[in-house]
Structure 1
Amino acid sequence: MIFTGVGSFSEVVMEPDLRSFFFFILQACSPYGFVMFAISYSEAVTRRTKNVLAYVLLLPLFVTLLISPLKPEIQIDFILMLLWTAPYYLGGCFLLVSSYLRERNRVKRKYRLLTACFFVPPIIAIVVFNHITRAVKQDFDGYFNLSIVVWCGFAFFIIAAIRFGVLGVRIRFEKQLHDQKIKGIASGAAMFNHAVKNRITNIDMLTGRVRELVKSERNEQIDEDIKRIMAETKQVMHMVKRIQKQIEDVELVEGTANLIDLMTHALHANRYPLESKSVSISTDYSVNCNMMCDKLHLQEVFNNLISNAIDAVEGEGGTLAIRIYEAKSGIRIDFTDNGTGMVKKAEEQIFDPFYSTKQREENFGLGLSYCYLIMQKHGGSIKVSSSQGAGTTFTLHLPKYRRIRTSNKGG
């Protein structure tokens, strides 16, 4: 947008050198800027590949500059330039549309559709009325036709920004902003209550078990359960210390943590509920690595997913398989249970705040929205794959750049 806006000065600047400079930015830099935006927005490639493309895709631009006469004004060969600008523009449009089609999150899918509707028609108009027509007739002036499309696009942007939000821009009135802050405070406090509720539930169950073991005088088991109670209490205290930040917004306190250690602690914290429902655990840790992350929040994500798997299995004899493995774009963690699964509609809404498939009063519908938020804060993602009656798999993705050290380890 900056390239296009600055380049448009070529229509009003009279000084030849400046006119040539702005004209080149408009005609050659704008397609580069658009295709790089589309690559970044679509999340179609890894960060490393994107960085490589940022340099590789500059080559046609420099070649165009080198072969174009600069005096008295720049003379661009639009026939040759069409060979790379059209693929840049149309390829970018394809990425925007495909990112919408690939998106499974209901809310993000809506925003990707709005973004595609905002960009694709004006870009196609630029290709037709500017690059193709100039390649056929270099002195063709298609700005009148383009201006109609651009003004329509601008009107669409304003309407969509007021109603839905586009590209992270949302036009709000003061009262709406105030209401949004109130909702944010309530949501943050509710998320904290949800985390505390999980911890207190575990403490309560462990305390009940200790009381039973005291009667049977099994001292070793009592010591082990007391240690777990202390660990759970410590976790609650950490959450209490950060309650103010949690209400305002979730802020990561990052440090180095080992994923297998975090998973071991999460399984240990849920040992009693796992045992009470006879849920068998299988682990496959094909990669052992340290990550730069907020270990408190990330372990809470693990706890939530393990707790959900326990709730999902019916009766006794359930299974939970946990995998930590390396993928092309980073580290992935799968939580697969053989529970009841969920219908397609529930799968689409499962990460929405206050949505829950558990029809129980003590379930607030915030656990998975909390997990979604924490993974987003880490630059990663959480996805779900489920079939009714055939179990559910939640997959966490942590980007490769968060990895500190790697060594193979079987589990």
Structure 2
Amino acid sequence: MLVYFAALLAAAAVLYRLYPQRETNRWAAFFLLTASLGGLAGHLREEALPLLELAVGEAATGIKMLSFAQKVLEAANHTLTPYGVLVFSLVYAERFSRQTRRRLKLLLLLPAAATCVWYTVAPERQSFFILLLLWTAPYYAYSCWLLVSSCLRERNPWRRKERLAVAVLAVPTLVAIVAFINVASVWVPDFRFFGYIAFFIAYSLIAGVAFAFAYGVLGVKVRLERDPLESAVSAVSSGTAMLNHTIKNEIAKISICAENVKETLDPHDAEAAGQLDLIVKSAEHMKQMVTRIHGQTQDIVLREEPHRLADIVQESLEKLSAKLNSCGFAVFKEFRSDPVVVCDRVHMLEVLSNITANAVEAMSERRGEGALFVLIDTTRRGVLLSLKDTGPGVPKEQLARVLEPFYTTKARQGGGNFGLGLTYCYQVMRQSGGQIELESEEGKGTTVKLWFAANKMVASARK
């Protein structure tokens, strides 16, 4: 049982240590911690206490204190574990707003607290397990439904794999807990369930490690094997930093040498002076290009504050209104809700500018006919901001790569397009705790969806 205790405690420590800022990881660590208490309580009840009672007798003060500690650990294990599992499932499934979840956390704690009190005064264990079954079975059942349904509803292929992994490793074990602990203990209060549960706990831990290597579970994959796109962004960022420094130094040398040569020329040699001016201008142009590339790949620092999302969208569209009007593109806005989200206003404006500029360029051959559709909505998943154009669309084989650094579906005219705009958008949304999704069909246009996590929404009103 101590192995059971140590294994669950280690799993809780790993999940919390990796991403303490993520609420899902905190609650996963919490229910694993409370589950581990069952192993410690079982060790005290079945091994440590009997040996000590034989050695010093049941009446010893130390035995009584240890027996009381065992009872507290057992009560915490039986009551706080189902509570922690359900709260984790609610947070992980992203079905409710942060304010609603805060209220649910308090309400769902009431049965656990009442059962703990009953356990200390219950005349027999059977009555405790009957009361426990009345609310833990619905808690576990709803948790399983949330985990499975969140996997079925997920449209992002990467997140769907992670949600599938969590459901596969958690649901069988939760069903076993209900059957072998909660239900069996009602009929046989001293039922020795550990042998049965140990198999499922071992299954979950082994499956968790396997899925962590294959798909990632609650961020563990990010530490063991980084997301390919994130690795690419990181490599590009460090590479362009060195490139930026080196090329700027060399460009400076070229400019200085050109100016020195120009001073030694015959003042009447206009042709040579013109060639040197061209060298200086080309060097300056190269410097600006390298600076721009570096600016789009360097690490992003967010300064997040509550902002009305509609205001940011409106400001972004106003900045690009001249371009949209000159091309004859119509803008249709549909704001189904009016959310206030915690975000970095400056970076969000730049994200929207990149997406809108891409839409304008995609519709360049449809002057006077193109249209941009902007939607704001609030769902159980979070806040959605989508922008849809009526351009030619992106071929399916290219769509999977559009977020990669330096990948572009557009012609590199004038050296101004580096294929970094959507990579920048991906970085901003990821650091904001959100997501960016692209949907496109040839001949029907492209839709870019920006998802803000539900816990980033401060307030919202339906329209």
When the two structures are superposed, what TM-score results if normalisation uses the length of structure 1? Answer: 0.72
Q: 1:35–1:407: structure 2 CA closer, same or farther, 3 Å change rule?
A: closer
Q: Displacement of 1:380 after TM fit?
A: 3.9
- The question of 1:161 aligning with 2:215 is answered no
User: CA, structure 1 residues 255+157, in 2 after alignment: closer, same or farther (shift >3 Å)?
Assistant: closer
Q: How does 1:195-344 map to 2 (within 5 A)?
A: 247=298, 249-254=299-304, 259=309, 262-271=312-321, 273-275=323-325, 277-283=327-333, 292-313=342-363, 314-316=365-367, 317-324=369-376, 332-341=384-393
Structure 1 residues 6-405: aligned runs within 5 Å: 6-13=37-44, 14=49, 15-70=66-121, 76-170=127-221, 183-188=232-237, 247=298, 249-254=299-304, 259=309, 262-271=312-321, 273-275=323-325, 277-283=327-333, 292-313=342-363, 314-316=365-367, 317-324=369-376, 332-341=384-393, 349=400, 352-354=403-405, 358=409, 360=411, 366-384=420-438, 386-398=440-452
Q: Give 1:305's aligned amino acid.
A: I
Identity across the alignment (%) = 30
Distance, in Å, in 2 between the alignment partners of 1:276 and 1:390 is 22
- Alignment coverage as a number of residue pairs: 359
Matched residue of 1:97: which SS? Answer: helix
Change (3 A) 1:181 1:47: closer
Q: 1:300 to 1:156 in 2, by over 3 A?
A: same
Q: Match of 2:33?
A: 2
SS at match of 1:104: coil
Judge conservation of contact 1:330–1:398 (CA < 8 Å) in 2: yes
SS of the residue corresponding to residue 68 of structure 1 reads helix
How far residue 121 of structure 1 moved from its aligned partner, in angstroms, is 1.7
Q: 5+ unaligned residues in a row in structure 1: which ranges?
A: 193-236
Distance of aligned partners of 1:26 and 1:339 in 2 relative to their CA distance in 1, 3 Å threshold = same
Cα 1:55–1:353 change in 2 (3 A) is same
Instruction: Evaluate the alpha carbon distance shift between residue 257 and residue 86 of structure 1 in structure 2; reply closer, same or farther with a 3 A threshold.
Output: closer
Task: State the Cα distance separating 1:56 from its structure 2 match.
Answer: 0.8
Aligned counterparts of 1:391 and 1:180: Cα–Cα separation in 2: 24
If the length of structure 2 is used for normalisation, what is the TM-score? 0.64
- String of CA shifts for 1:282-301, please: whole Å, max 9, x gaps: 34568778765322210111
1:404 is displaced (CA, Å) by 7.8
Judged with a 3 Å threshold, the aligned counterparts in structure 2 of structure 1 residues 396 and 160 are, in CA distance, closer, same or farther, namely closer
Residues 177-208 of structure 1: CA distance to partner in whole angstroms, max 9, x if unpaired? 8x99974532446999xxxxxxxxxxxxxxxx
CA displacement, residues 59-97 of structure 1 (integer Å, 9 cap, x when unaligned): 211232333354788665323321211111121111111
User: Residues of 1 paired with 2:223 and 2:381: CA distance?
Assistant: 36
Do the aligned partners of residues 187 and 35 (structure 1) sit closer, same or farther apart at CA in structure 2, a change above 3 Å counting? farther
Contact 1:4 1:30 survives alignment (8 Å): yes
> CA 1:311–1:190 in structure 2 vs 1: closer, same or farther (change >3 Å)?
farther
1:232-265 CA-to-partner distances (Å, cap 9, x unmatched) read xxxxx9x979968963x42202357665564455
CA gap of 1:121–1:366, structure 2 versus 1, over 3 A, is farther
SS at match of 2:160: helix
Tell me by how many angstroms 1:396 deviates.
3.2
How far 1:105 sits from its partner (Å)? Answer: 0.9
Pick closer, same or farther for the CA change 1:284–1:99 going to 2, 3 Å. Answer: closer
Cα deviation code 1:28-72 (max 9, x no counterpart): 111111111111111111111111110111121123233335478
- Partners of 2:107 and 2:192 lie apart in 1 by 31
Q: 1:56 to 1:290 in 2, by over 3 A?
A: closer
Amino acid at match of 1:83: L
Mind listing any 5+ residue stretches in structure 2 that lack a counterpart? 1-31, 50-65, 242-287
Structure 1 position 343, deviation (Å)? 6.6
CA contact (8 A) 1:351 1:372 kept: no
